Amino acid sequence: MPKDTARGGKNIWLTFDDGPHPSNTDRMLQTLDSFNIKATFFVIGKKAAGLERLVRKAFDAGHRIGNHSYTHADLTKMTEAQMRDEIKRTDDVINQYTGTDKIFRPPFGLHNATLDRVASQLGYRVVMWNVDTLDWNSNYRPHKWVQPGLNQIRSRNDSKILNHDIHETTVDNLPVFIACIKRLGNVTFKPPSTL
């Protein structure tokens, strides 16, 4: 029987932005494998172009690959043509790993109607998050990001969690974070295909 979120169950989607990173992403994949959890990696095209082996490794392990622009700039400050170029150049790098339901996460979560339209025209669906662990914030390193993440997860049934595989402190503390989530009870780590 599937778990019923109306009775206190929690659905969890782990997502990781800004990679791939030469060493951290590989360690992240090992940790996720040890917990048998599949996640979504929103990759920066410029980085993915140089580390395609890691993108392929994540994909082959059952993780989902999303588009996070080519340079990680604020796309809302760009022309429509520049927006299109940022998404398209990344698509050229990752399109063999994206499947038919292609997903895009704008850098910094900044988007507007123009960017949403451009992404849609290029065949992408915009996917955001509703749990920000603050792992990117130096004030929450090395491990202080775990508690804000847990506090947000406790307050909702469906948690789309933002983390970053570029930070060593995130990789180091991910096993603790996952273990704490599991201890909340009645938790399901959802497949990335349902994001």
Catalytic: which of 17, 18, 91, 135? 17
111 is catalytic: no
Tell me if 140 sits within 8 A of 166, measured CB to CB: no
Which DSSP string do the residues of 122-134 spell out, in sequence order? TTEEE---SEE--
pTM of the model: 0.94
Question: Choosing from 111, 164, 165, 167, which is the catalytic residue?
Answer: 164
**CATH number of 14's domain:** 3.20.20.370
The domain of 120 spans: 5-194
Condensed to tens digits (0 to 9), the pLDDT of residues 76-127 reads 999 999 999 999 999 999 999 999 999 999 999 999 999 999 999 999 999 9
Distance in angstroms (rounded) separating the CA atoms of residues 64 and 98:
7
Give the tens place of pLDDT for each residue, 138-171.
999 999 999 999 999 999 999 999 999 999 999 9
Q: Is residue 17 annotated as a catalytic residue, yes or no?
A: yes
Cβ count near 51 (within 10 Å)? 18
Total domains, the chain: 1
